[in-house]
């Protein structure tokens, strides 16, 4: 039994999988760039109070899932459980709003939550996300939604659903909450325990409960969509009409709500049907009141975040991740001491020309080296012994066609580049 094992709820991403991660992250970066979003990297840990404020003291994340610890100076720190609060903290700290009015920022980062690994939950997981900071316009909501959709499209995903809703704003939500509570009060004892707790602090979240009983009790509940103020209504209509103009299909889901007061207007979620039951790939929405909550100036903003692990599972399921195993361009197989030294030198020379090159490190027989060359997936093998060196030529073998030819050492670089289709 090995002495050390990884912490439950964490994963090692081994080389074969790391290639898939790099591909997905590359697509994310490429699409972000097309939308002119710039990358921002914030620290892995922050002051605990930032998340208590920025996510909400009453949420499950803050009350039971954060990795919080005291450092040696007895300061309470927390490994970031989500990306938005740190981005807005950085936005305020660096007064980015004074440099230009609208900022479009994205991140790809590990996140940490102390969740139950038995339930398949990860304690270190990874997200990409984007925040459009500084605009209240419906175009900004549509920009982030289209961005998320285009990332999934670019990856080849077909089976997904976009759900949207509006959760109103400071003007219309308070009176709606009262109506909702009036409706729920006589049904309170039929709701699940968590919903009973939500009744005072967070009644909107009751609409979001997955329990059969709660869903039945709330089937006839008043909907926020019917109680939006004029501005929120106009905003929602504009978002829907712009999405339609872009040909982005959506469903309005009245149960899509967010618990915290600084979330405003548009909420959205993208679900995949590939994993059986519908699974959230990512979601987001408008949070016009968060910057103030974190001590900044009023800064209307909208964003989304999406999990990378679940996305990879879906892509795998849909067969959209094949062909990532590529080997070196060239494997150098040698016979004799002098040829081995030549291999070290030639490998570096070829690498400096941009070729991917490997050779044997175990002093194996030529036969074993050729086996290794094949296993490595290399496109070509260079076969060199004392005789070849003396004649200043090497054997070049195409490992997929098994064709062999003799090439002069002096023209080796050019010959290889020509066969690999690389510019000389």
| Stretch of 10-18, 25-33, 59-67, 226-234 lying at the interface with Zn ion (CB under 5 A) | 226-234
138 near Zn ion, judged by CB under 5 A: no
223 near Zn ion, judged by CB under 5 A: no
Residues touching Zn ion: how many (CB under 5 A)? Answer: 11
User: Is 239 within 8 Å of 141 (Cβ atoms)?
Assistant: yes
Q: Which of residues 310-349 bind Zn ion (CB under 5 A)?
A: none
242 near Zn ion, judged by CB under 5 A: no
User: Is 250 within 8 Å of 270 (Cβ atoms)?
Assistant: no
Member of 137, 192, 407, 413 binding Zn ion (CB under 5 A)? 192
| Beta-carbon count within 10 A of 321 CB | 18
Biggest CA pair distance of the chain: 96
214 near Zn ion, judged by CB under 5 A: yes
| Beta-carbon count within 10 A of 291 CB | 22
Q: How far is the CB of 167 from Zn ion (least distance, A)?
A: 9
Q: Which of residues 172-191 bind Zn ion (CB under 5 A)?
A: 172
195 near Zn ion, judged by CB under 5 A: yes
Q: How far is the CB of 299 from Zn ion (least distance, A)?
A: 18
| Stretch of 230-238, 278-286, 331-339, 401-409 lying at the interface with Zn ion (CB under 5 A) | 230-238
* Cα(212)–Cα(191) distance, integer angstroms: 10
Member of 17, 60, 197, 211 binding Zn ion (CB under 5 A)? 211
* Cα(53)–Cα(118) distance, integer angstroms: 29
Q: How far is the CB of 237 from Zn ion (least distance, A)?
A: 13
| Beta-carbon count within 10 A of 84 CB | 23
Tell me the two tokens of residue 49.
Answer: 């109070």
Residues 6+ apart with CB under 8 A from 223: 254
* Cα(416)–Cα(251) distance, integer angstroms: 54
Q: How far is the CB of 181 from Zn ion (least distance, A)?
A: 15
Positive or negative, the CA dihedral 45, 47, 50, 52 is positive
Member of 9, 134, 168, 284 binding Zn ion (CB under 5 A)? 168
In the complex, the residues that contact Zn ion under the rule CB under 5 A are 168-169, 171-172, 192, 195, 209, 211, 214, 229, 232
């Amino acid at each position: 039994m090995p002495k050390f094992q990884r912490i439950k709820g964490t994963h090692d991403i081994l080389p074969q999988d790391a290639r898939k991660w790099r591909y997905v992250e590359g697509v994310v970066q490429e699409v972000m760039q097309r939308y002119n979003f710039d990358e921002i990297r914030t620290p892995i840990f922050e002051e605990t109070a930032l998340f208590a404020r920025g996510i909400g003291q009453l949420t499950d994340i803050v009350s039971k899932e954060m990795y919080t610890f005291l450092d040696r100076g007895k300061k309470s720190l927390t490994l970031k459980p989500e990306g938005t609060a740190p981005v807005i903290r950085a936005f305020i700290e660096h007064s980015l709003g004074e440099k230009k009015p609208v900022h479009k920022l994205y991140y790809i980062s590990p996140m940490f939550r102390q969740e139950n690994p038995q339930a398949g939950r990860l304690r270190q997981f990874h997200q990409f996300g984007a925040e459009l900071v500084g605009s209240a316009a419906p175009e900004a909501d549509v920009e982030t939604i289209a961005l998320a959709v285009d990332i999934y499209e670019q990856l080849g995903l077909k089976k997904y659903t976009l759900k949207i809703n509006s959760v109103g704003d400071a003007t219309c939500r308070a009176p709606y909450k009262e109506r909702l509570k009036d409706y729920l009060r006589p049904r309170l004892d039929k709701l699940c325990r968590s919903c009973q707790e939500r009744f005072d602090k967070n009644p909107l979240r009751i609409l979001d409960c997955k329990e059969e009983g709660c869903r039945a009790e709330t089937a006839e509940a008043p909907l926020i969509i019917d109680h939006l103020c004029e501005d929120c209504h106009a905003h929602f209509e504009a978002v829907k009409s712009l999405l339609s103009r872009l040909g982005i299909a959506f469903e309005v889901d009245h149960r899509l709500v967010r618990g915290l007061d600084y979330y405003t207007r548009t909420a959205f979620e993208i679900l995949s049907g590939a994993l059986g039951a519908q699974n959230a790939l990512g979601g987001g929405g408008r949070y016009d009141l968060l910057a103030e909550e974190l001590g900044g100036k009023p800064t209307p903003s909208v964003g989304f975040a999406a999990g990378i692990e679940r996305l990879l599972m879906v892509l795998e399921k849909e067969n959209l991740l094949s062909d990532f195993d590529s080997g070196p361009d060239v494997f150098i197989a040698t016979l004799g001491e002098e040829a081995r030294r030549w291999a070290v030198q030639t490998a570096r020379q070829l690498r400096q020309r941009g070729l991917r090159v490997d050779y044997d490190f175990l002093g194996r027989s030529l036969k074993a080296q050729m086996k290794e060359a094949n296993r490595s997936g290399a496109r070509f093998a260079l076969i060199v012994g004392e005789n070849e060196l003396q004649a200043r030529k090497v054997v070049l073998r195409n490992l997929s066609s098994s064709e062999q030819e003799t090439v002069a050492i002096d023209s080796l670089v050019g010959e290889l580049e020509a066969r690999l289709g690389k510019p000389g």
